[in-house]
Amino acid sequence: MSRPHPNSHLIGDLQARSALATPALILDLPVLEANLSTGMRLVKDAGKAFRPHFKAHKSLDIARRQLELGATGICVATLSEAEAACELGAELLLTSIISTDAQCKRIAALAASGATIIAVVDHPDVALRLESVLQGTCGALDVLIDLDMRRARSGCATPKAAAELGNLVSASPTLRLRGVQAYAGQLSHMTSCKERSAAHAEFTSRLAAFKFALSHILPDDPIVSGGSTGSMNLDLSGPLTELQCGSYALMDVEYLNVEPGWTAWPFKPALRVQSSVLSTHWDAHAITDAGDKWFADKYGAAPRIVLGAPETAVFEPISDEHARLVTEAKLHPGDRIECLPPHCDPTINLFAAYHVFAGEQLRDIWPIEARGL
Amino acid sequence: MSRPHPNSHLIGDLQARSALATPALILDLPVLEANLSTGMRLVKDAGKAFRPHFKAHKSLDIARRQLELGATGICVATLSEAEAACELGAELLLTSIISTDAQCKRIAALAASGATIIAVVDHPDVALRLESVLQGTCGALDVLIDLDMRRARSGCATPKAAAELGNLVSASPTLRLRGVQAYAGQLSHMTSCKERSAAHAEFTSRLAAFKFALSHILPDDPIVSGGSTGSMNLDLSGPLTELQCGSYALMDVEYLNVEPGWTAWPFKPALRVQSSVLSTHWDAHAITDAGDKWFADKYGAAPRIVLGAPETAVFEPISDEHARLVTEAKLHPGDRIECLPPHCDPTINLFAAYHVFAGEQLRDIWPIEARGL
């Protein structure tokens, strides 16, 4: 675990790109920086707050750049991500529900250590459990009421349930109600813009009903947090007060396959997996070293080849350490192939580090601090 | 990366099982030890050598137990695994083809640092590249000729190609021919024993043709390495001199779904993923915190529930951090669910550590040293 990365000696090398130990996750620094600036400008121009999601990149280096550009805070999806991100000194929003004593204690310990953290709750039992853990620490905790925006994944399912939970939170000596979370992640990968717009309109009216039921207890200027890269164009003029987008920083094939809400995506793919051709004994395919241990997908997209093989070639991970590159082009052992990954968040979770490139130069290797524990 | 595991404080705790921060990868120590002993006894009784595969468990703690039981050496699938495993002091066999200069230099550096390592080669260009890198280090390297046993993934495709490569290796001042690798991984998950037996018979005759073509250059007592847990019953009496099985130590749903070659599997599942129920607002399902970031499959099997919910319940990871537990049983936030993972090797790659349990007691937390870099 503490071994140096096998490519560390290449940092600064002007020709490092073709000398890497593979498989290697490559981050194009100029593209990343353009995506970060564009995202921040779009959200600021819309008069919203931006709390980008750490779960996409899991990197303190990227989160610091987002904060420097003016992010309000950072979203995290897990307690491990929160523990990694607390050194940023930013206000963290843990967007996933917690439930067990162990989880309540971890969030209380983080808050007690000085981290500014907001939790989301969707059940009275958990609110009481949090309260009971917090009483031992003499601390208080900011919370949002999580609302089910038709995902059936977390959140109060009805305005009535939300109001009951809200009353409980409002009366609590240790929980401070800051607003609501209204995440409609099912919109993010709807391919058709028209379908996404219709679903967003339904989301907007559903959220209004929840806010009405909670209006007597919500603070002035409540946080209404949600959104994703896929619905960003709609959320810029929608009812959310702050956006949680994460993938915009990096992009991936699955987002490129979705109709952008703009005439073209304002974000470019910044992430590639570089692999090496290993074996070439067959007429119609070669084998590379980036198997399915190095790619994650969710909607079934394939890695998209962008370097080293014809556009018509198909890249198919076939076992943990091997992929089949279907092409009649003659390749040689040692040739380099680069692909855009299907889905950025879980693919990044498979790697320990980003190889940060500007052109052929390896500028740095950034650890992926919040890879799953 | 260097943060302590959130469950470290529970080591030694007699009731740790229901107090864990989840999702947690659980290793049942008595089951693991029984599997390791049974596997070693079966292979020894068959008069074969056993070189268990590190790629399955990626753990020095487990590899040390395998060596103590009499393993000849250890197989590794990647150079990173080799770099992690070299501190075992065992003879390592890198079972994957290498091709680039960077890969050749890494293996040369390992050999130069005192590790005993065997590489596999399937292409004259790579043999020459290895030779050229080794000449700079004054070292020599043991190699096996890799044979394509109808997987079209690596290996010389014909006896003629194998003989030509064998001649080149035999004439090399820096490569030492030790034998062949004949890996027929396509057999491992053939559900039907009858189909597997027929494929194994074809494998046996194909291997004989390769060995005949190489007979003039193979050393006395050549290594003939291959096999997997799925074909172990057949390999015990087949032409391999040493077996590479890995999954036998841990087992998984995908192997349990295969007809064992014995009247029953001699290996029991030692691995579970523990998750917590997060949200319970729906009649027909609950949500847990072990999403698809924590499960990998290859043949489409689902996680199998073994604790916390009825046998009829279905566990479906639906997003990175969330799974849907389809059941009409009434569950509560904080309830614990344990599942057998679909496929052991890539699931283990998703975690940083094993939680080593005997019953309810957390005996230790073992790092997963060779998680992908």
Which of B252, B285, B302 is the last residue before a domain boundary? B252
**Chain A residues touching residue B23 (CB < 8 angstroms):** 372
The reply to whether B91 falls in a domain is yes
If asked whether residues A326 and A298 sit together in one domain, one would say yes
Q: Tell me, what amino acid is at B373?
A: L
The residue behind tokens 């073994």 is B306
The residue behind tokens 């080849």 is A305
Q: Which residues contact B143 (CB under 8 A, 6 or more apart)?
A: B118, B119, B120, B121, B127, B130, B169, B175, B176, B177, B178
Comparing C-alpha atoms, which of A123, A144, A149 is closest to residue B280? Answer: A123
pLDDT given for residue B4 in this prediction: 87
pLDDT tens, position by position, B26-76: 999 999 999 999 999 999 999 999 999 999 999 999 999 999 999 999 999
Residue of B nearest to A366 (CA): B1
When CB atoms are compared, the residue of A98, A278, A372 closest to B97 is A278
**Beta strand A353-358 pairing with A361-367:** antiparallel
The reply to whether B261 falls in a domain is no
Q: Strand A141-148's sheet: what is its strand order?
A: A49-50, A242-243, A223-226, A175-183, A141-148, A117-121, A92-94, A74-76
- Report how far Cα A243 is from the mean position of its chain's Cα atoms: 12
pLDDT tens, position by position, B229-256: 999 999 999 999 999 999 999 999 999 9
- Residue B320 to residue A294, Cβ atoms within 8 A: no
If asked whether residues B237 and B303 sit together in one domain, one would say no
Which of B203, B229, B252 is the last residue before a domain boundary? B252
- Taking 80 as the threshold, does the pLDDT of residue B188 lie above it? yes
The reply to whether B56 falls in a domain is yes
If asked whether residues A291 and A350 sit together in one domain, one would say yes
pLDDT tens, position by position, A73-123: 999 999 999 999 999 999 999 999 999 999 999 999 999 999 999 999 999
Min distance A21 CA to chain B CA atoms (Å):
6
Q: Chain-wide mean pLDDT for chain B?
A: 96
**How high is the mean pLDDT in each 10-residue block of chain A (373 residues)?**
86 98 98 98 98 98 98 98 97 97 95 95 96 85 97 96 98 96 96 96 98 97 98 97 98 96 96 97 96 89 95 93 96 97 96 98 97 90
pLDDT given for residue A90 in this prediction: 98
If asked whether residues B355 and B323 sit together in one domain, one would say yes
pLDDT given for residue B139 in this prediction: 81
Total tally of structural domains belonging to chain B: 2
Which of B227, B252, B277 is the last residue before a domain boundary? B252
If asked whether residues A206 and A286 sit together in one domain, one would say no
- Residue A125 to residue B334, Cβ atoms within 8 A: yes
Comparing C-alpha atoms, which of A5, A26, A41 is closest to residue A361? Answer: A26
Which phi and psi (to 5°) does residue A338 adopt? -120, 135
- The complex scores an ipTM of 0.95
The reply to whether A92 falls in a domain is yes
* CATH number of the domain encompassing residue B324: 2.40.37.20
The reply to whether B372 falls in a domain is no
Q: How far apart are CA B338 and CA A281, in angstroms?
A: 44
pLDDT tens, position by position, B123-165: 999 999 999 999 877 689 999 999 999 999 999 999 999 999 9
**Chain A residues touching residue B161 (CB < 8 angstroms):** 281
If asked whether residues B235 and B290 sit together in one domain, one would say no
If asked whether residues A15 and A43 sit together in one domain, one would say no
If asked whether residues B218 and B245 sit together in one domain, one would say yes
- Residue A369 to residue B1, Cβ atoms within 8 A: yes
- Residue A293 to residue B372, Cβ atoms within 8 A: yes
**Chain A residues touching residue B153 (CB < 8 angstroms):** 279, 287, 318-319, 322, 324
Task: Give the DSSP letter of residue B267.
Answer: S
The SS3 call for residue A26 is: strand
Q: How far apart are CA B160 and CA B163, in angstroms?
A: 5
Under 8 Å between Cβ of B359 and B307: no
When CB atoms are compared, the residue of B154, B279, B367 closest to A278 is B154
Under 8 Å between Cβ of B39 and B52: yes
- Residue A77 to residue B122, Cβ atoms within 8 A: no
Q: How far apart are CA A306 and CA A120, in angstroms?
A: 40
**Chain B residues touching residue A280 (CB < 8 angstroms):** 123
The residue behind tokens 């190889």 is A355
pLDDT given for residue B279 in this prediction: 96
* CATH number of the domain encompassing residue B111: 3.20.20.10
The reply to whether B172 falls in a domain is yes
Within A215-323, where are the H helices? 232-235, 253-256
Residue of A nearest to B368 (CA): A1
Based on its alpha-carbon atoms, the radius of gyration of chain A, rounded to whole angstroms, reads 22
Print the domain residue range for A308: 8-27+266-367
The reply to whether A2 falls in a domain is no
- Taking 80 as the threshold, does the pLDDT of residue B92 lie above it? yes
If asked whether residues A213 and A121 sit together in one domain, one would say yes
The DSSP string of B320-370 is: TTEEEEE-SS---TT-EEEEE-S-HHHHHTT-SEEEEEETTEEEEEEE-TT
If asked whether residues A221 and A277 sit together in one domain, one would say no
Q: Which of A5, A25, A373 to mutate against chain B (most B CBs within 10 Å)?
A: A373
Q: How far apart are CA B103 and CA A237, in angstroms?
A: 51
pLDDT given for residue B1 in this prediction: 47
pLDDT given for residue A2 in this prediction: 67
Burial B252-277 (b: 16+ CB within 10 A, else e): bbbbbebebbeeebbbbbbbbbbbbb
The reply to whether A261 falls in a domain is no
If asked whether residues B99 and B54 sit together in one domain, one would say yes
If asked whether residues A57 and A131 sit together in one domain, one would say yes
pLDDT given for residue A1 in this prediction: 47
